A and B are shown apart, each in its own frame.
Chain A
């Protein structure tokens, strides 16, 4: 690959332009007469002066230093990096759908409102919930919204002593962070020897100060919480609510539903389970569904169908208000809508079944090479430990970096925190057995090398645009912008 070290700013040539704007066709305003002079900018912002071809080449070259799902296998656990169908991209930029202003008269936006209304119905059905709000922009944002609803629910019942949210020690970092942000005290509970919620520990902390419990099911070890009905009975028994972190929903579509398990609120990540692209870190979408009793607390507006017409209902006195401008990440919702409409019930179920089969296949093929702390039938992902290899000086990080040289995106590493040298592997249903076998062969080979020639694994990656980067230096003396 040709090296091009320059930033776009370093390619700037004074006087060069990259835009094509219409000629100004109205009388010019004298800025210095119209505005107080001190409000006008003295020095222009240091934006690059480059041509269109400069910009296209620059970002095309940058894209080559990136790796997407279309580039190859991406078994990043908890992130569900499944293939992003191309038709969904076409739909999302379709004229008549994308170029709509959110404050347009609802009568002139009936198509978009119908899509949102249908999406509410489909997701409610998939989650086993009464209603869904599409407003949250991401999973963590859905968590935050759900926790605000939990708060509002207890306050509405004048039950202000409920200040605690329980999260398992294996939970996603967003769970405790969202709970703290929503004004709760966070209590961690340990996992038992089977990798599930420790029922006895839960029993001990349940009292009338508990507002709710957040749970991922299957959990971050890829294991189904077998005692879920007991857990929900216990939490409900003490007056708390159950929140479902839907990051792992890809395991159970059409097979089981959070609503039936006893969850009161559930989010889904459309950018995981429902195939919308991650965009290199967003935009995502994190709708949440709620049970009947919590519907009055949903954010406004709720889209209702009244006499064959779709309306925005803002008149909801118990609503928590707004968590984001407008109605959610419509562009992302459109892609997920397209996905659900092209999949239908049976294919969604087949997707989950295949995702689970793929994960178990890899687990089985790697169990003789790596330690698998909770080795039994898993759901859509599983966690192995590179502890055996680490004793030889080869860490999970080293294995990850060697995968880069093999052209594969590494699994999630060092998470969940309860497994040492964790590697969390989620293949998804969109990968062929040939792809899985290739990955398995490489992982087995790395395990053998870690035994025979550990030193050879310490310098990876060697084939990427840059080698290992100094993260300590980046944090110690932060350089967060270019300067002339």
Chain B
């Protein structure tokens, strides 16, 4: 049977072949050496109808156990937040999702204006002067930020806090391996009897020792991977003493209540904007945001929308500062970015419009209330112990009496997706567990979670 996506009929095909002046379809491919032309069909499964495809995908979905079926207490960079229905309806408008990159601005004002609005909102949240149209994810955004910093000040060393998301650091390490930029990692404080609330934050003393005239930038995350806030202001002062740049990885939801990195002295703010109206999608697509202070603006990577006027003096938007980009500058471009994450950015701008000033603050505040409630309730069971003693956002570290991987397996049987096991990425935090609680979790789900942790730990993990 023919494909319903190919409208040409057999009769039309005959007529077109003769219009082109060839005898057969094969003749169209005569430029391909005979030896290279496949003699048999590709070895692929036989085609399915729509109905059969749905059945097949349903069968595969049944081998999963998702966040609709289970209560999700897992975060570590990707979060299960509430997504308003209107977001899906907006990004499902064909004019948006079936369009290409807006190279023809006269028929792309929709996506261009949405990007301009997105850039405004990201600039507002981060306290920066400008933002780009998006990058692949938080990890690649951090990689681009380090390249930008090094390009800007010509220095070749970057200091990265170990409390930055391990996935981000891995992408940074592989990306910078042959770039001539070296990475030094700075530890976090972990003292048994520390009482000044600095446990889990970057070790400023070690940082001080590493800072030099070769330092291009320091990259920190706040709230960091453990959910703990870093002192961005103090860090920015230290960084400025040696003329380096401060890159802050910040969660956009948290910026509904916390002071912006721009206000606190960061030069570049990047991060993962998936929490803004984008589903977890098994880790992709995500949405990397990227924002800078003015001096860095013309060296930013990626697409940028700018305001201008049309020949009749009316406001309009175009892709701008394109002289930075690969299709103009080729090997001298500021990055190789072509495709970015425009539709995810549209989801984010829709989400932030719906939430507004008050809604975003409410989401952030509920994340705080619910995570603090969960943390305190877990500690009260006596089955988990405190690890750090610093204020956190949405996510916290505890040490359960049994191994996190054993605990998680038992929780899954109770329809709960448990926290992130820190053992692999942080050997010094062996047995520690990173738990995320968003506004989506109700008090009943939380109480049930705490009860189950309690009873599973009671039974040593096996029931």
Contacts and interface: CB of A to CB of B under 8 A. Distances in A.
A467 B107 CA distance: 10
Interface in B354-369: 354-363, 365-366, 368-369
A396 B27 CA distance: 31
B43 A31 contact: no
B20 A360 contact: yes
B283 A102 contact: yes
A461 B311 CA distance: 11
Interface stretch (B167-175, B210-218, B238-246, B395-403): B167-175
Residues of A in contact with B, size category? 35 or more
Nearest to B315: A5
B104 interface: yes
A416 B8 CA distance: 29
A62 interface: yes
A278 B340 CA distance: 10
A433 interface: yes
Interface string B308-333: 11111011111011110111111111
Interface stretch (B126-134, B155-163, B451-459): B126-134
Interface stretch (A170-178, A200-208, A288-296, A448-456): A170-178
A470 B63 contact: no
A177 B333 contact: yes
Given A22-B442, A45-B255, A480-B131, A467 B19 contact: no
A466 B109 contact: yes
Nearest to B130: A480
A46 to B, nearest CB: 5
A377 B110 CA distance: 38
Contact of A475 (B53, B315, B323, B350): B323
A323 B282 contact: no
B14 to A, nearest CB: 11
Interface string A50-85: 101001101110111111111100101001011111
In this complex, the member of A39, A115, A140, A254 whose beta carbon has the largest number of chain B beta carbons within 10 angstroms is A39
B92 to A, nearest CB: 7
A109 interface: yes
A7 B61 CA distance: 41
Interface stretch (B64-72, B187-195, B381-389): B64-72
B37 A255 contact: yes
Contacts of A260: 36, 38
B38 A429 contact: no
Contacts of B175: 148, 323
A133 B48 CA distance: 25
A12 B69 CA distance: 37
Interface string A431-457: 111000000000000000000000000
Given A42-B259, A173-B327, A409-B104, A65 B308 contact: no
Nearest to A80: B100
B380 to A, nearest CB: 13
Interface string A392-431: 0000000011001000011010010000000000000111
Contact of B3 (A79, A320, A338, A350): A350
Contact of A99 (B68, B257, B331, B350): B68
Nearest to B90: A59
Interface in A214-246: 223-224, 226, 228-229
Nearest to A155: B178
Contacts of A327: 282-284
Contact of A469 (B80, B92, B94, B309): B309
A360 B19 CA distance: 9
Nearest to A217: B32
B185 interface: no
B280 A71 contact: no
Contact of A31 (B15, B255, B365): B365
Contacts of B256: 41, 45
A137 interface: yes
A474 interface: yes
In this complex, the member of B98, B136, B306, B333 whose beta carbon has the largest number of chain A beta carbons within 10 angstroms is B98
Interface in A8-60: 8-9, 12, 16-22, 24-29, 31, 34-36, 38-42, 44-50, 52, 55-56, 58-60
A470 B310 contact: yes
Contact of A322 (B31, B170, B281, B329): B170
Contact of A68 (B99, B131, B259, B362): B99
B339 A325 contact: no
8 contacts: A19-B358, A29-B368, A66-B110, A103-B76, A105-B409, A280-B110, A331-B285, A354-B8
Given A101-B282, A283-B344, A479-B306, 13 more contacts: A17-B358, A60-B93, A66-B111, A79-B100, A84-B97, A91-B53, A102-B282, A173-B338, A281-B303, A325-B171, A345-B41, A377-B20, A466-B316
